[in-house]
């Protein structure tokens, strides 16, 4: 059975030596964040802070800060399984005839088992109130120059105002007062798109903030799923079992029944205020910028909830590991559209949106550029600053191997592509304008005569099999 909630996840982490409890009183103002950063940078465990000053609610941090913890939470070791399940669904034939339908039942039942299941109540409905306040939650201030306290791992639930397709995204929220916060959904994010549609209609958009979803739902909130795919369904595909949902009390939205806390309200696209600065995952403070306001109208929560949070800053921190799972899980989907792709890597030091390496099985001239252009047209990959394309013999996860390919197979003038006036990540500190800058592609594949390479391709140095086998057979005799 998949993990049902964050409290069960804590138990599993503890069983596997992946969690430490801190009983000393700690402060949500800067102190917790600094403890978490030190543990993250040193590959430390998840931490449950049991005594938080001025609050009766424990705080869980660094819960997803290692591949081991994500393997426990998502109950798998090969994360490409997630993307492969989606790819398999898209290839599924619709059966005709009774016999064919019967034969297809096992496959169809797997798909229907992933759909969310609506419940009348759940753990998150144990306590409900319309007299809600952000002051009741141990929301962190992470960096000294942050504009205040920020919710950093709230799963922001909205639905498309026209199609009704549900979305979950993780957007930071700056607390303004007891019932107002600023919603930092960047221009390219799906939540912002829903907000723009509501703005055009002159309407506010119902929004719920979920704290402490089970691991598959947290992952689904961060994952850049294909447009039109319901995030709750994607969570079910990830865990191979549909999540349970309940209705909010003050707004028309479904939320996970097993969450710790749900903050209900709406975002008013017409109520724009200055948000920031905030110490972000680029390693820089993002400057003050205008964002819409969220108004809190109600709360649902467990009787004894746990506040789940994260901190960001210069890589490598907790978000890097979630990013690696996204990278692995979406490889099969990339290969659906670009079959020549062998592997794909987005190094954590490049904050995942800044730099990507792709290996391909090259068959024709200009294929590396074709892949770059194709990936720049795929969803969130459109915001990636730099692509490096290498041959299939290069290990995209070994940066030394990649550097060797760049320096031995790429000519700066011939193999560098620059695209100006292209969309960039809002958080990119180097772009000359917010949301607009340039991109770079490097073709580090071996060039052919068809691509204008007139020289003889130099032979790589490799050991001969006879010598290799000889040394293999005598290795234990060398005393090395």
Catalytic residues: 280
Q: What is the rounded (10 degree) CA torsion for 432, 435, 436, 441?
A: 100
The rounded distance, in Å, linking the Cα atoms of 403 and 400 is 5
Enumerate residues 6+ apart whose C-beta is below 8 A from 331: 80, 83, 341, 343, 344
Give the tokens for residue 60.
């869980």
Owner of token pair 């297809």: 104
Extract the tokens encoding 108.
């169809």
Look up residue 55 and give its two tokens: 């609050």
Query: Taking the CA atoms of the chain, what radius of gyration do you get in angstroms?
Result: 24
* Beta carbons of 260 and 155 less than 8 angstroms apart: no
Q: Are 265 and 143 in contact (CB under 8 A)?
A: no
Of 256, 28, 32, 240, nearest in space to 156 by CA:
256
Which helix H or strand E contains 209, and what residues bound it?
Answer: strand 205-211
User: Residue length, the chain?
Assistant: 480
């Amino acid at each position: 059975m998949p993990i049902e909630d964050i409290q069960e996840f804590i138990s599993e982490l503890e069983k596997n030596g992946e969690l430490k409890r801190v009983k000393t009183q700690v402060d949500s103002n800067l102190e917790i964040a600094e403890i978490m950063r030190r543990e993250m940078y040193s590959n430390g465990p998840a931490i449950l802070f049991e005594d938080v000053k001025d609050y009766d609610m424990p705080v869980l941090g660094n819960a997803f800060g290692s591949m081991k913890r994500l393997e426990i939470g998502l109950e798998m070791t090969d994360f490409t399984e997630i993307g492969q399940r989606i790819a398999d669904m898209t290839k599924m034939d619709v059966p005709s005839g009774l016999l064919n339908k019967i034969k297809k039942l096992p496959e169809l039942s797997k798909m229907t088992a992933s759909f969310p299941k609506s419940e009348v109540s759940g753990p998150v409905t144990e306590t409900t109130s319309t007299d809600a306040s952000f002051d009741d939650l141990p929301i962190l201030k992470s960096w000294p120059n942050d504009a205040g306290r920020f919710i950093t791992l709230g799963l922001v639930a909205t639905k498309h105002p026209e199609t009704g397709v549900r979305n979950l995204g993780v957007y930071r929220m700056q607390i303004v007062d007891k019932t107002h916060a600023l919603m930092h959904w960047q221009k390219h994010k799906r939540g912002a798109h829903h907000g723009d549609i509501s703005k055009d209609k002159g309407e506010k958009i119902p929004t719920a903030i979920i704290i402490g979803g089970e691991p598959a739902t947290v992952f689904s909130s961060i994952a850049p799923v294909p447009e039109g795919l319901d995030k709750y369904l994607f969570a079910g595909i990830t865990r191979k079992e549909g999540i349970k949902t309940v209705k909010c009390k003050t707004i028309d939205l479904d939320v996970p029944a097993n969450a710790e806390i749900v903050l209900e309200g709406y975002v008013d696209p017409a109520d724009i205020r200055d948000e920031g600065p905030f110490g972000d995952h680029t390693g820089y403070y993002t400057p003050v910028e205008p964002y819409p306001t969220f108004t809190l109208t109600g709360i649902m929560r467990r009787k004894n909830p746990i506040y789940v949070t994260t901190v960001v800053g210069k890589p490598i921190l907790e978000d890097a590991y979630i990013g690696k799972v996204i990278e692995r899980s979406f490889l099969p989907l990339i290969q659906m559209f670009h079959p020549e792709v062998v592997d794909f890597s987005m190094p954590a030091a490049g904050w995942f949106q800044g730099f990507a390496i792709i290996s391909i099985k090259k068959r024709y001239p200009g294929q590396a550029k074709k892949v770059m252009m194709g990936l720049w047209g795929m969803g969130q990959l459109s915001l990636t600053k730099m692509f490096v394309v290498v041959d299939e013999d290069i290990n995209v996860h070994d940066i030394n191997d990649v550097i060797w390919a760049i320096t031995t197979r790429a000519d700066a003038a011939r193999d560098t592509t620059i695209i100006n006036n292209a969309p960039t990540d809002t958080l990119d500190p180097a772009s000359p304008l917010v949301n607009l800058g340039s991109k770079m592609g490097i073709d580090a594949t071996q060039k052919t005569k068809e691509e204008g390479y007139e020289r003889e391709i130099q032979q790589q140095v490799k050991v001969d099999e006879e010598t290799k086998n000889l040394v293999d057979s005598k290795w234990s005799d060398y005393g090395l």
